[in-house]
Amino acid sequence: MSVAVLERITIEPNTRATACVIWLHGLGDSGAGFAPVVPVLGLPDDHSIRFIFPHAPEQAVTINQGYVMRSWYDIKSMDLHNRADMPGVLDSEQLVIALIQEQIDVGIPADKIVLAGFSQGGVMSLFSGLRYPQTLAGIMALSCYLPTADELPAQLSAANKQTSILQHHGEQDDVVPLFAGKMANTLLNQADYQTEWKTYAMGHSVLPHQLQDIGKWLVSRLI
């Protein structure tokens, strides 16, 4: 089965890239939504991290009256146990795997790649990262949940059992409730994953000082 090559925004470092962050956007957004954050992360001027902000495919989304928009999977309802369309999640997982493989093919090893995402993109980074067969540098899951609700995904990979997982969530999030992110964190902790959980006084968004925290974490994983 051939996997589509996703359009994306790529931001190259000033030096030769030796690491990569693949950052997945949320429902109805595009890679352009997060590309402007790179200068705000506070990375060293001579960092060697390539940032890739892919655009999700366009599809009809049930909870938005069937309107076609960029989406990693259909969202069928707001009920956490029936929210994510799992066939769509699995299709997008293949797109994520292809993005990682592209970087490996140009010389960046998996353990120098961070898989990151916000909201629906965070769902995909967490789900795909937990199942990915090679060790990644880190998994960043912002304002999101597990598509499998109150259980860990099937076919977990031992390769990322010790990988650092950064989870951030807004305390006033009215799109993805705080308890949904915390449920994922609790499941990961119970299974002895290496998680770092932090909440912020915000809704379903990101804050400048949060981006500074993310930058420090990226430096610890990739530099």
Q: Is position 164 within any domain? A: yes
What is the count of structural domains for the chain? 1
Can you give the residue range of the structural domain that contains 214? 8-222
Please state the φ and ψ torsions of residue 139, each to the nearest 5 degrees. Answer: -130, 125
Q: Is position 71 within any domain? A: yes
Q: Is position 209 within any domain? A: yes
Q: Is position 180 within any domain? A: yes
Q: Is position 1 within any domain? A: no
User: What amino acid positions are annotated as catalytic residues?
Assistant: 119, 173, 204
Domain holding 193: CATH number? 3.40.50.1820
Coil, strand or helix at 201: coil
Q: Is position 181 within any domain? A: yes
Q: Is position 3 within any domain? A: no
| pLDDT digits (tens), the chain, 223 positions | 456 789 999 999 999 999 999 999 999 999 999 999 999 999 999 999 999 999 999 999 999 999 999 999 999 887 766 778 899 999 999 999 999 999 999 999 999 999 999 999 999 999 999 999 999 999 999 999 999 988 999 999 999 999 999 999 999 999 999 999 999 999 999 999 999 999 999 999 999 999 999 999 999 999 8
Distances (CA, A) of 149 to 81, 83, 104, 166, 198: 5, 9, 31, 18, 20
Q: Is position 2 within any domain? A: no
